[in-house]
A and B are shown apart, each in its own frame.
Chain A
Amino acid sequence: MQIGDKSTIFMKEQFKKYYDKSAGSLNFPERLSEREIGYIPFQGSMTRHLSFGTPSELRTFLIREVPRSVHYSSGYYSAPTLPMAQKGWKGADLIFDIDTDDLHTPCQAEHSRWICTACSSIGVGKRPTQCSKCKQPRLKAIKWSCPKCLDSAKGDTVKLLDILCDDFGIPRNEIEVFFSGSRGYHVSVYSKKYESIDQMARSDIADYVSGKGFLLGALSLSSKRRYNDLLRSFPEANGEGWKGRIGNHIVNKLDLGAIEPMEQVISQISKTKTTTLRHLAEDALSLFSARIDPTVTSDVHRILRLQGTLHNETGMMKKKCVDLDTFDPTTDPVVIGDEPVKVIVDKSPPLSMMEKIFGPYSSETVEIPSFAAILLIGKGFAKVV
């Protein structure tokens, strides 16, 4: 999109309508004045190291500037406006990002697209090494999430919440879940217990929730296992944490649930092939883990999209999911109006929004609601005619 082109002007007008109408009632994260705020305008590059003393100052800023996207730091600082080294880190929310990109859903093959930044042509399928039209290598994958991808992300978010509440004992009221406005969910934990832990500890938490680094030896399941070690280490029925999940899964899959006493179960397990046990443990890890982006969780200076603001690629709001089970990411975060607008669209996958399906379109001019047009423009598939 070029600055000053019709599409950008249209997009900014729609964003302005939203902020004029809704900015006054937006809620922001706690400790706002201690956080760094950054934004990308419709014209120009990113500005960082801003700070707002009160929520109303930030609301006024949103109405005045109409930013293309706004970000806040998960970290709290003594001086958020100073360069990073001088900010004075005081702590950070514990955050998790579940992004459909990391889920590798089978449907991604159907809606993978790429765009050539040299000639703007769009291709279907995985990004090749060079543009089929202009032969330039400057290709960018267009990230797209269909309802199936978003369902999958929700499933992983539910698993993450289970681990945080059951294993880490974090009260549900200290956790907030947000739809990111595009491809997944953000989970923020506001807990005094975890705010000051460092990058390494956060990295270990990331590995824990994503089931990485489990040792078969922790359950005495390695090839050198001995009956007595197994009896000592293997969890009883309904065991807790990862050991419990893996233990229960092995017992269920080997059909040992009805056998008593435990010694009999252990005896059976000790006779099972190590490769079988390894595969069952791997199954359990993949079944119960949450596929998060570990770099987000371990980063104590991360900036992420501000709740209540619009996503620059979709026009959808980063919205708090009060009830995750009933939250519908194709309708609930849609805040742009439905006034029809004429756009030319090329090679877009089918778009599900507000219980309707738009497309697939291939080099055609269509009149569609503004909310759908904004998403197709933001992704690079459409231009206002």
Chain B
Amino acid sequence: MDSPGFGLDDLAKYPFVQEAGDRVKALDVSLQDLEKPDFKAVVDRARERVEESFGKRNISSMNHQPDVEILSFPLSMALVKASGLDHLMRRYSLSEAKKVEGFLERESREVLKRIFDSILSFPVYDGGDRYKGLDYTVNVEDFLIRSVHFHTPEWKLINHVVSGGRVYLRKTDVVRLVREEIRDIIEKRLKNIGPIKLPEKLSIIVQEIIQETPPPVIMETIGAPSIGYPPCINHCVEILSKGENLHHMGRLFLATYMLKIGKNVDEVIDMYHNAPDWNPRVSRYQVEHLAGLRGGRTKYNSPSCKTLATNNLCFRDPKNCFGIRNPIQYGRRAKGKDKVTKSNQLKAKI
């Protein structure tokens, strides 16, 4: 029973679209049914999806029957939800979205258009022939809302062709924007699932998943200024704690800042434990380099507020960031000037 828009193979690749939900309903499989041997492949695949999201951090592409893939998606969502682990929900959503990104990059324009129409909350337009390779356009405001979370210079608006309120994009760029949208959709759906009562066998799987899932990294606050970290550091910490990718500049900033406020190399390395591409050996080398323990023995300073602003990492707190040039000064200035002076208040106006 293929949907008029998507084939069964498409639904297996994109199990979050409405048509895939219709297919699940049509198959009429209850949670109790899933305990039967006939559905072992579905249960195994659902478990694999979850385990791969926190293990390899990438969910493998399917080598399964389409219906196994379609049914295992809602079941894996149920397993994740039943675990009650917030960090697993985030990790799982990102991994599913990354898997989809890989499929989308290989799709034809027609299929992509159907996917966009089906799931996106913003329009994607045909780019025409004006620019070679820039086959799509999106509205500037829709682009900005999403692109600023990527925090890389390549995603800054200035590095794209912008004209008449539209941003011209390559296929890979649009797919990257769509990945974020899918991650968001899955995460929201997980949050909206009500309490689930799973049959015994599935409950045991959930317990095993809870045992296997690494705990979230709790960021230590030792050495932080008494008023807390500056908003730019909080942002970097938040991205890492969600298990999302913090770009090079953000990582460099976080490490130099933490070293500067007195954290030791091991404490700083631990902060990157949740990064999607976590590699302890590489992290140690880089942090030790920044701490002046390797290479030219230069101790690197934390980048200035100006540099951070250019890299989309400045989230100025009007009160405590006033007059500082480097995030390192955040604590010091705030300590001495808890109260915003009258002259500062006036300067803050135009």
* A interface residues (Cβ-Cβ under 8 A, vs B): 40, 45-46, 69, 71, 97, 99, 166-170, 180, 186, 193-194, 197-201, 203-205, 207-208, 211-215, 217-218, 232, 235, 239-244, 293-296, 298-299, 301-305
Tell me whether A168 and B350 are in contact (CB under 8 A): no
Q: Within 8 Å CB of A217, what residues of B? A: 154
Q: Which residue of A lies closest to B166 (CB)?
A: A169
In the assembled complex, 15 residue pairs joining A and B whose CB atoms fall closer than 8 Å, in A order, are A46-B345, A71-B349, A166-B164, A169-B140, A197-B145, A199-B315, A203-B312, A203-B314, A204-B157, A211-B158, A213-B159, A215-B154, A239-B161, A242-B162, A305-B350
Query: Is B195 in contact with chain A by the CB < 8 A criterion?
Result: no
How far apart sit A207 and B164, CA to CA, in the bound complex (Å)? 18
B345 nearest in chain A by CB position: A46
Residue from B158, B162, B310 whose CB has the most chain A CB atoms within 10 Å: B158
Contact A207-B139, Cβ < 8 Å, known A46-B345, A214-B158:
no
Quick one: closest A residue to B231, CB to CB? A199
In the complex, chain A residues whose CB is within 8 Å of the CB of B311: 213
Q: A290 → chain B, closest Cβ, in Å?
A: 13
- Contact call B140/A232, Cβ cutoff below 8 A: no
Residues in B neighbouring A235, C-beta threshold 8 A: 131, 161
Q: Does B160 contact A (CB under 8 A)?
A: yes
Known: A201-B148, A203-B314, A301-B318. A294 touches B157 (CB 8 A): no
Q: Which of B149, B154, B164, B346 is close to A218, meaning CB atoms less than 8 Å apart? A: B154
The 5 closest A-B pairs by CB, nearest first: A169-B165, A240-B163, A201-B144, A200-B148, A218-B159
Measured between C-beta atoms, what is the minimum distance from B315 to chain A in Å? 6
The chain A residue with its CB closest to the CB of B343 is A140
Whether the Cβ atoms of A193 and B141 lie closer than 8 Å is yes
Chain A, residue nearest B141 (CB): A193
In the bound complex, what is the Cα–Cα distance between A46 and B157 (angstroms)? 38
Interface of B is mostly: mixed
Q: Secondary structure of the A side of the interface? A: mixed
B 91-146 contacts with A by CB, 8 A? 131-133, 139-141, 144-145
Q: How far, in whole Å, are A240 and B164 apart by their CA atoms in the complex?
A: 9
Look across to chain A and name the residue whose beta carbon is closest to the beta carbon of B142. A193
Inter-subunit contact B158/A299 (CB<8 Å): no
Inter-chain contact B165/A168, CB cutoff 8 Å? yes
- Nearest-neighbour CB distance to chain B for A332, whole angstroms, equals 19
Q: Which A residue sits closest to B144, measured CB to CB?
A: A201
B316 touches A295 (CB 8 A): yes
Question: B319's closest neighbor in chain A, by CB?
Answer: A84
* Interface residues in B329-343 (C-beta closer than 8 Å to A): 342
Q: How far is the CB of A123 from chain B (nearest CB, A)?
A: 19
A168: chain B residues at CB < 8 Å are 140, 162, 165
Chain B interface residue bracket vs A: 35 or more
- Residue in B closest to A303 when the chains form the complex, CB atoms: B349
Knowing that A197-B145, A198-B148 are A-B contacts, what are 16 other residue pairs whose CB atoms are under 8 Å apart, sorted by A's residue number?
A46-B346, A97-B350, A166-B164, A167-B162, A167-B163, A168-B165, A169-B163, A194-B141, A204-B157, A207-B310, A213-B156, A240-B164, A241-B161, A242-B159, A243-B161, A293-B350
Cα A186 to Cα B349 in complex, Å, equals: 12
Cβ–Cβ contact B315 & A242, under 8 A: no
Query: Which one of A193, A211, A213 contacts B153 once the chains associate, using CB atoms below 8 Å?
Result: A213
Interface 1/0 per residue, B149-182 and A, CB below 8 Å: 1000110111111111110000000000000000
Beta-carbon nearest neighbor of A191 in chain B = B141
Q: Is B301 an interface residue (CB 8 A)?
A: no
Tell me if B213 is interfacial: C-beta within 8 Å of chain A: no
Asked if B326 CB lies within 8 Å of chain A CBs, one says: no
For the complex, what is the distance from the CA of A305 to the CA of B346, rounded to whole Å?
Answer: 12
Q: Which residue on chain B has the smallest CB distance to residue A182?
A: B350
The one of A166, A203, A213, A305 in contact with B349, judged by C-beta atoms closer than 8 angstroms, is: A305
**A166 to B163, Cβ gap below 8 A?**
yes
Residues of B within 8 A of A166 (CB): 163-164
Q: How far is the CA of A296 from the CA of B315 in the complex (A)?
A: 13
Residue of A199, A211, A241, A301 with most chain B CB atoms under a 10 A cut-off: A241
Q: Which of the residues B149, B318, B345 comes within 8 Å of A299, measured between beta carbons?
A: B318
